[in-house]
Amino acid sequence: MKQRSNLAHKVVWITGASSGLGKALAQHCALHGAEVILMARRLTELEKVRQSLSDPDRHICIAADITDENQVRHAYEQVLAEKGRVDWLINNAGLSQRALIADTSMQTERAIMEVDYFSQVFLTKTVLPLFLKQKYGRIIFVSSVAGLLGTQYRASYSAAKAAIHMWANSLRAEVAAQGVQVSVVFPGFVKTNVSFNALDGAGKPQGHQDAAIENGLEPQAFAQLVVDALLQHEEYIVVGGRKEKLGVLMSRLSPKTLYKMIRKIKVK
């Protein structure tokens, strides 16, 4: 049985922390005693999240665009100045998609990859030397069940989430002997604003909720499952309903059957 760790007085940096999964993860990490670094673009929303955390004064907010490398470097300097270290880095910020491949512009393709892949790679590479110097720490990537399966209307999103999963696997192999751990989380449908912000083919937010998202897992339930799994040092964490978990299982046992099923279902 794996030994359970705890987050008392640990520093946890979470991107995309102003709402949704990031907000819920921040709340659960704080409940476990962590000092949370909340990062997103909207300072006002971050402050609201900080005030919702247990013992708000222990936590800090950093307003930054994760796709801007200069802002990310400055954020890292601020974290070191205020906290001196990072114990967990949770790469959570993401951007989804709701468009057919034929309708998706290359600008939109690149925008999704920039947020869901390149920005996470850059932030991780920025913090990695600190982890290697410390000889401990955990880097967490929030991928998606879509990154394991691939479905209609989510091609670019699925590709980006699959790419960060594979990059994380390589990172884990490279740094495991140096005390740095790497985990990947694969959410299924969770009830957040992700579908409101998902890009259409022209790169505009969809602006409405998907039925599957509306009926998905509550963010607090998701966060509790994820934090508990991370505290038990899990590296591959699938969180979703029965359909998503069945899809992941089928992708391993019979990809041919899975894709026959996917072609027949309505996923938008």
DSSP-assigned beta bridge partners for residue 14 = 38, 90
pLDDT at residue 3 tops 80: no
Task: Point out the catalytic residue in the list 76, 117, 153, 157.
Answer: 157
pLDDT in tens, 112-166: 999 999 999 999 999 999 999 999 999 999 999 999 998 899 999 999 999 999 9
pLDDT in tens, 170-179: 999 999 999 9
pLDDT in tens, 236-252: 999 988 888 888 888 88
pLDDT, position 186 = 97
Structure tokens at 10: 């640990």
Q: In what order do the strands lie in the sheet with 11-15?
A: 60-63, 35-40, 11-15, 88-91, 137-142, 180-187, 236-239
pLDDT, position 258 = 79
**Could you give the CA distance from residue 85 to residue 12 in angstroms, rounded to a whole number?**
9
DSSP-assigned beta bridge partners for residue 199 = 97, 205
157 among known catalytic residues: yes
pLDDT at residue 31 tops 60: yes
pLDDT at residue 215 tops 70: yes
> Of 206 and 76, which is predicted with more confidence?
76
**Could you give the CA distance from residue 59 to residue 61 in angstroms, rounded to a whole number?**
7
Overall CATH class of domain 11-264: alpha beta
Confidence of residue 1 (pLDDT cuts 50, 70, 90): very low
pLDDT at residue 49 tops 50: yes
pLDDT, position 254 = 85
The domain spans of the chain are 11-264
